[in-house]
Chain A
Amino acid sequence: MPTYAIETNQLTKRFGDVTAVNSVDLRVGVGEIYGFLGLNGAGKTTTIRALLGMVRPSEGNVKTLGQAVGPHGRGPWARVGHLVERPSAYPELSVRDNLDAARRLHGIQNPNVVDEVIERLILASYADRKAGTLSSGNLQRLGLARALLHNPELLILDEPANGLDPAGVIEIRELLRSLAQEKGVTVFMSSHILTEVDRLATRIGIIHKGRLIEELEAEALEKMRAKRLEIRTRNLEGAQISLQSAGYKPFAEGESIFLEEAHAIEHPDKIAQMLVNAGAPPTHLSVYQQDLEEHFMQLTKEAQ
């Protein structure tokens, strides 16, 4: 069994003078959910196409599930499911026919897999509808159904939550989580919905202008996020004096006071009690945590 489900070494792809992907070294462990983040044009889709053998690297190489990708588009595709960019389907074929066509091209003998995946992606009521008449959300479900049809060991998904309604987003998130946790499926997903990546990924890679500028474990992200206690009160001055005399270092921004001390963040109830006793009762008290979006924006701004 390979150590990595995905491994790229100095992966570089140039289109003429444009370097879309520049010396990217990716290592995605088996069973991981890897969130791949980047702005538009950062190189996410080109990287995904290189992982799937759709574009040939200008330099470097790609391995998926321990097998070299290419030359001639060869790879372990019977064990890989994918969804690249916006989903597509043959518009004159029904949902069932589209999936049956995919089944045949995957060489799967058992026709029941089509009905199983239709049930799994909640497409039963659309099964006999022509794909050309589907909403973008259901087309996305069809794309995901095709990616999951052959029970792959590795899923490479470009924006899997695109076009889905909020309930659909949650449903797909839970589906991917259960595939990873219960069946050991590796998920490599790009997304611009950072909260989705934040909630699902066990590791995150950030690509910017073709370069992988940061990789971090979800736990590390949790630790590095700045946390603050936000306090609002009608007696700002009294509250600040009271907090300073208790040894804290409050700072004011607009109508609020912020504390960054771990003790304050862990015991907001004690802060509230202190402020009440000082004659500055809080009208609002909340722990604020920097999210992935802010971290991402900060990082890409620094890399400009």
Chain B
Amino acid sequence: MNNFSSTLFVEILKMRRSKVPYFTALGFCIAPLAGGLFMIILKDPEAAKTMGLISAKAQLMVGVADWPTYFNFMAQAAAAGGMVLFSIVTIWVFGREFSDHTVKELLALPTPRETIVAAKFVVIALWSFAATLLVFGISLAVGKALSLPGWSADLLRESSIGILGAALLTIPLMSFVALLASSGRGYMSAFGWTILTLVTAQFAAILGWGDWFPWAIPALFSGAAGPRSEQLGMHSYIILTVASLIGFVITFWWWRDADQTR
């Protein structure tokens, strides 16, 4: 445990001193602000007309300015944005060791390599969930400031479960991003993987197979596409868990046993 806490301290130190996590959190914060902007446009149709295309698109996308619409927009943003931003952090946490050639300083240490990998995953999970909480908090403040109608305790509970749950389901899928950032020895392969999974998840959802495709499951869980009980079944959670575990196992194996020539 002492080994692990020391390693976790080092990973948190590296995260704290880097600008990447702050920039990604800042990027994530754009979602509630953009949602708020749409709500302002929708609340005042006259002003919306003078804004031309932007207001037309806002009406097309979200309909009316109320809490259910706003939360629905946030759920979509959290599901798609979460996948991208959590991936960026994961790619940075793992890939930077290869880009900065620091990985060789982590391989011949009394601290086992598995401990280092575990600490990296914990840091990614903590940061990702903290960023989601921050974004959710900001979205509540923005909605409150706009005095949106349609608030209810049930809606808050459902939306919290949808947005925070989608984040919790997205985080384990980062195991594959970590694997690609490690075995690809840098950033590019993992970026490619993230784009591939985003696009394939869209296709899977359109074809009606989203509940069987791990990377589509968080978005379906968020509630953005309808009630999650209609979208997902137990098999969805099992598939996501198994897929994530496979990613973790191969990542740990790779760090422990693969030849390290960087």
Contact = CB atoms under 8 A, between A and B. Distances in A.
Contact of B108 (A77, A85, A89, A101): A77
Given A54-B260, A72-B256, A93-B17, A105 B109 contact: yes
B89 to A, nearest CB: 15
A107 B9 CA distance: 12
Interface of B: 2-3, 6-7, 9-10, 13-14, 17-19, 100-102, 104-113, 116, 256-257, 259-261
A107 B111 contact: yes
A281 B165 CA distance: 97
A106 B116 CA distance: 12
A102 interface: yes
A88 B109 contact: no
B127 to A, nearest CB: 16
Contacts of A77: 108-110
A147 to B, nearest CB: 10
Contact of B14 (A15, A82, A101, A102): A101
A110 B144 CA distance: 51
Interface of A: 15, 49, 52-56, 71-75, 77-78, 80, 82, 84-86, 88-93, 97, 101-102, 104-107, 146
Given A88-B102, A90-B102, A97-B13, A105 B7 contact: yes
Contacts of B106: 105
Query: Which 3 interchain pairs have the tightest Cβ spacing?
Result: A88-B101, A104-B6, A78-B110
Given A92-B18, A97-B13, A102-B105, A56 B257 contact: yes
Given A107-B6, A107-B110, A54 B104 contact: yes
Given A52-B107, A80-B108, A71 B10 contact: no
Contacts of A101: 10, 13-14
Given A72-B256, A104-B9, A146-B105, A90 B111 contact: no
Given A90-B14, A104-B6, A52 B100 contact: no
Contacts of B110: 77-78, 105-107
A12 B106 CA distance: 24
Contacts of B111: 105-107
A92 B102 CA distance: 12
A71 B112 CA distance: 12
B107 A104 contact: no
Contact of B104 (A15, A74, A85, A104): A85
A72 B257 contact: yes
B113 A90 contact: no
B105 A73 contact: no
A107 B3 contact: yes
B109 A93 contact: no
A90 B106 CA distance: 12
Nearest to A89: B102
B55 to A, nearest CB: 43
B205 to A, nearest CB: 39
